[in-house]
Amino acid sequence: MTLILVRHGQAESNALGVIGGSRDYPLTDLGRDQARAAARRLAGTRIDAIYASDLSRAAETASLIAEPHARPSASGEPLEVIEHAALRERTWGDAEGLTRAQIAERFGAGTPRGEGAIPNEETHDQFLARVTPLFDELHERHLEDRALVVAHAGTILAVLSHLIGLSPARLPRFNIVNTSFTVIEGTTPPSLGPINDHAHLE
């Protein structure tokens, strides 16, 4: 089993320096170029299924990566991208659309995120309870093949936290850059391969 977790390309929220969360910010032109670079790198890799968050920045990244991969049965159509709302980024509630400085000004410096202190945000427990069942399902479904999952930095960190066995309130402190690859391999239990591999952007 191999799951390749890919963060979406640069979105307008990234370019603006604001918290995107569950808002549907589209890719920038740079983000599309990043996705095409990821597609070129993966063009010679067998991929059996592609999944994505249903937010457009992830779904479009997945569609661009899927283009070089024709179905083996030969219609010439790219692999279908299967979208899942469970793969969305964490909902940051009233902090979405704000910069970190604006969040500190509005809610107070040092206000914790993910603990319910910001109105309408998704807590750590709620976020992991949404993401990890789907990851476990995909792991079981693809024990004998390779799948690609295009999601968000927070979603990927939630999966890593689940694998490492951290408490819900502690996501690992890895930098997950746009269109980087994080690889999970094996079955009992799965193990981590490369994390934040973005050689195709260099």
The span from the CA of 158 to the CA of 170, in Å, is: 9
What's the confidence (pLDDT) of residue 179? 98
What are 129-142's pLDDT values in tens digits? 999 999 999 988 99
CB 18 within 8 A of CB 99: yes
Please state the pTM of the whole predicted model. 0.92
Residue 27, SS3 per DSSP: strand
What are 49-81's pLDDT values in tens digits? 999 999 999 999 999 999 888 655 455 666 899
What is the number of structural domains in the chain?
1
Closest CA to 179 of 63, 22, 58: 58
Catalytic residues: 8, 89
pLDDT at 89 over 80: yes
Q: What is the mean pLDDT of residues 174-179?
A: 95
pLDDT at 117 over 70: yes
Query: Hey, what are 43's tokens?
Result: 């063009």
The span from the CA of 141 to the CA of 73, in Å, is: 20
Closest CA to 8 of 54, 43, 70: 54
What's the confidence (pLDDT) of residue 45? 92
Q: Report the CATH number at residue 164.
A: 3.40.50.1240
Please give the residue that has the higher pLDDT: either 144 or 35.
35
pLDDT band at 127 (very low <50, low <70, confident <90, very high): very high
Residue 24, SS3 per DSSP: coil
Mean pLDDT (the chain, rounded): 91
At a CB cut-off of 8 Å and minimum separation 6, what does 165 contact?
none
pLDDT at 193 over 80: yes
pLDDT at 169 over 80: no
What are 25-48's pLDDT values in tens digits? 999 999 999 999 999 999 999 999
Q: What is the mean pLDDT of residues 176-181?
A: 98
Q: Domain range for residue 197? A: 2-201
CB 77 within 8 A of CB 70: yes
